[in-house]
């Protein structure tokens, strides 16, 4: 991702954070929308207790609280490009590990059992689909068990010009041919999204 695009993403969420504080709206979700999407991330019905988890694009760490509320105990790490969101996450969840991380300039030098990406590629940017694919390839290399990714679906008729929509069939084909043949895709739990589960 070019530097101008990164600045746009960072500034967008900085403004939301200033406006909404510690609420889902700070990361451009509604409370219901965030909960629905988090539930979809766990739709593969596996027990992640005791697992090492990476929340890539973690924002202020709300997925960790979601997991705790459902009785999961995990070794949680959150990566995000936005230092202000990471600072809030560290303050809220001192028992977790959070890092400001840019995958374009840093390598992931460890393995995680599960890697989750929730709404990471929602803002419309030039070349974002190709960038998302390359990011998923890098992340899957560091994944021992399952990578879970969701995105806005291009099948949705009413599109917001500021948001990025992905063709679920294209992403499924990409995953099968470039990541793993063990792929499941759920479309329709939320009418505007799809969730893809890629297993080793």
| 73-82 tens-digit pLDDT | 999 999 999 9
What would the pLDDT profile of 24-56 be if each residue is shown by its tens digit? Answer: 676 767 788 788 889 999 987 778 999 999 999
Instruction: State the chain's mean pLDDT as an integer.
Output: 92
64 by Cβ neighbours in 10 Å (0-12 / 13-18 / 19+) ranks as buried
> Helices marked H in 100-151 — which ranges?
128-141
pLDDT for position 25: 75
Grouping H, G, I as helix, E, B as strand and the rest as coil, residue 194 is strand
What φ, ψ does residue 164 adopt, rounded to 5°?
-100, 130
What would the pLDDT profile of 155-174 be if each residue is shown by its tens digit? Answer: 988 888 999 999 999 999 99
Q: How far apart are CA 28 and CA 31, in angstroms?
A: 10
At 108, is the pLDDT very low, low, confident or very high (cuts 50, 70, 90)?
very high
> Helices marked H in the chain — which ranges?
3-20, 31-41, 62-69, 83-92, 128-141, 168-178
Angle between helices 62-69 and 31-41 in degrees, nearest 10: 70
pLDDT for position 129: 97
DSSP state of 91: H
Domain ranges of the chain: 3-199
pLDDT for position 26: 65
What would the pLDDT profile of 179-195 be if each residue is shown by its tens digit? Answer: 999 999 999 777 789 99
pLDDT for position 95: 95
pTM: 0.94
Provide CB contacts within 8 A for 18, sequence distance 6+.
Answer: none
| Residue of 127, 119, 137, 157 lying closest to 36 (CA atoms) | 119
Class of the 3-199 domain?
alpha beta
14 by Cβ neighbours in 10 Å (0-12 / 13-18 / 19+) ranks as middle
């Amino acid at each position: 991702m070019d530097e101008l695009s990164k600045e746009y993403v960072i500034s967008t969420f900085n403004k939301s954070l200033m406006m909404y504080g510690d609420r889902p709206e700070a990361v451009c979700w509604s409370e219901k929308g965030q909960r629905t999407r988090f539930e979809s991330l766990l739709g593969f019905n596996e027990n992640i207790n005791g697992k090492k988890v990476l929340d890539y694009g973690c924002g202020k760490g709300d997925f960790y609280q979601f997991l705790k509320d459902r009785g999961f105990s995990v070794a949680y790490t959150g990566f995000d490009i936005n230092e202000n969101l990471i600072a809030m996450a560290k303050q809220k969840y001192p028992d977790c590990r959070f890092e400001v991380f840019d995958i374009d300039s840093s390598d992931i030098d460890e393995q995680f059992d599960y890697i989750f990406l929730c709404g990471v590629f929602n803002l419309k940017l030039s070349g974002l689909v190709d960038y998302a694919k390359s990011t998923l390839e890098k992340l899957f290399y560091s994944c021992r068990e399952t990578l879970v990714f969701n995105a806005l679906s291009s099948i949705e008729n009413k599109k917001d010009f500021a948001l990025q929509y992905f063709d679920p069939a294209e992403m499924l084909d990409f995953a099968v041919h470039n990541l793993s043949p063990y792929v499941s895709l759920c479309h329709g739990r939320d009418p505007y999204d799809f969730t893809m589960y890629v297993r080793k």
